[in-house]
Amino acid sequence: MEEQVITISPQDLHSPHYDWSLRPSSTYTSLSPPPLDRTYSSSSDSWESIDSPASAVQSVSPLETPLITSIDEHLYLNELFHSAAQEVERLNKAILDRQTELVLLFQQKQREIDLLKARRTNHITRWKSFFALVYKLPDDVLLLVFEAFVLELGQSPWIIAHVSRRFREVAFRARKIWARLLLKPSFTIGARNQSGWEVCRDLSQLSRALSRAGGTNLSISIHSCDLDRARLLHSNPNRWASVTYVDQGNQEVDAELFGNRERLASVTKLQVVGGGSLKESKLIEWVQRFPPPHLALTDHSLHMYDRNGNWGRLCTLYIKLPQLGSCTHPWTSHSTAVIAEILRASSNTLTSLSLENIPFQEISLPTPIEFPQVTDLSLRSVTQWQAIIAPNATKYSITFGRGEAYEHTAHFRFTKIHELRDQR
């Protein structure tokens, strides 16, 4: 069979009227170039004569140069691909570097956590070893430790009660650590224990605190008290060991709190803040409430004494009188004479003495008062220096008033002075 040869020009391929279904099934063996003196017109679907080859080149449309266009696009796409490949490679490298940093950071943090765990474990182990010895202590020894923790260090007994079941049981048997009650206004907020004092802001808190204290002597600090709490304290059989009271001028509350003289017979320390309303007439009333020896109270001031039955066994004395120029009533020589009498009666037992604004010049002191046992002394008046002798004082504080001369210190006869603080 003879091979059929069909010649197809490029113009035929670009002709919109070319019927590809008429294409013969035989193999195309050659392509003949288009005639140089004719050009194909797509509008008339015929070949037209041209004057020159140059005009033929000018008449060729962009679609008639597919080979050149495909090469440019290929080069552009190839360049774009290489650029994208480089960017992907850079991003992959950045991701890998970041992953490496995160791994190193995680390993560092893990080492720090392991080190912290080891330290905490060692710390817990040491405390367990310590508490293992503490748990072996008998209850009587624990009671002494708890009392020192609360009464001497001023810590909250609730800290002990929350350590363990045994500590809680022993703590609730130590009645003394629950016997310090602080009465505050109901509108205040804060912790239920302050420096070892059980805060009672309402009637229910006071009732629970009294039940925990049991029958031991109470230390009462009354900053605010309504009639209901005063009645509860009045009906409670506990005796009082110390009293701190802010005078509110409410006679009904005062009568409920201090009407029971039997309860007050055990008071060894008294602190009263008059707040400017405590007149000398009320001072006498207050003194009469307490069994002998009386504890004196003053306006704008505090009196704190520790006693064991009489003034002759007084160990610590702190008296602060108001400035004579600022108090609402002048202090009489009788008031100062009472203080002088207390000082003379307790001169051989006092170990700590603090006096403020005691005008000894208003009374007659034939000889200065000597305190051989006093080691801690605080004075704030020149006239006090003329009346006090403390030969064994090792620590004292002196405050000079305006116009007072330094040479007045010569009136003191100190032989063991280790600390002196002058405030001019």
Distance between CA atoms of 359 and 408, rounded to whole angstroms?
15
Query: Residue 216's pLDDT is what?
Result: 84
CB-hemisphere CA count at 13 Å for 364?
1
Which amino acid is residue 263, in one-letter code?
R
Question: CA torsion, points 155, 158, 161, 163, in degrees to nearest 10?
Answer: -70
Query: Residue 128's pLDDT is what?
Result: 82
Distance between CA atoms of 6 and 27, rounded to whole angstroms?
9
Question: Which residues in the chain show pLDDT less than 50?
Answer: 1, 3, 13, 25-33, 36-37, 50, 52-54, 56-65, 67-68, 275-281, 283-284, 291-314, 322-331, 402-424
307 by DSSP, 3-state: which?
Answer: coil
Question: pLDDT tens, 39-83?
Answer: 555 555 555 554 544 454 444 444 444 544 577 777 888 888 888
b/e string for 193-226 if b means 16 or more Cβ within 10 A?
beebbbbbbeeebbeebbebbeeebbbbbbeebe
CA distances from 381 to 63, 250, 318, 357, 360 (A): 119, 34, 15, 6, 9
171 by DSSP, 3-state: which?
Answer: helix
Asked if 50 and 59 touch (Cβ cutoff 8 Å), the reply is yes
The residues, ordered by sequence, that sit 6+ positions from 231 with a Cβ below 8 Å of its Cβ are: 256
Distance between CA atoms of 93 and 99, rounded to whole angstroms?
10
Question: CA torsion, points 75, 76, 82, 85, in degrees to nearest 10?
Answer: -140
Residue among 217, 139, 140, 236 nearest 178 (CA):
217
Structure tokens at 275: 């707040």
Residue among 423, 353, 417, 342 nearest 388 (CA):
353
What is the number of helices (H) and of strands (E) in the chain? 13, 16
Q: Between vectors from CA 27 to CA 6 and to CA 17, what angle results, nearest 5°?
A: 55
Structure tokens at 124: 């817990």
Which amino acid is residue 123, in one-letter code?
H
Asked if 200 and 241 touch (Cβ cutoff 8 Å), the reply is no
Q: Could you tell me which residues are beta bridge partners of residue 273?
A: 246
Question: pLDDT tens, 264-273?
Answer: 767 766 666 6
Distance between CA atoms of 148 and 136, rounded to whole angstroms?
19
The residues, ordered by sequence, that sit 6+ positions from 189 with a Cβ below 8 Å of its Cβ are: none
Domain spans of the chain? 1-48, 69-136, 311-424
Query: Residue 98's pLDDT is what?
Result: 92
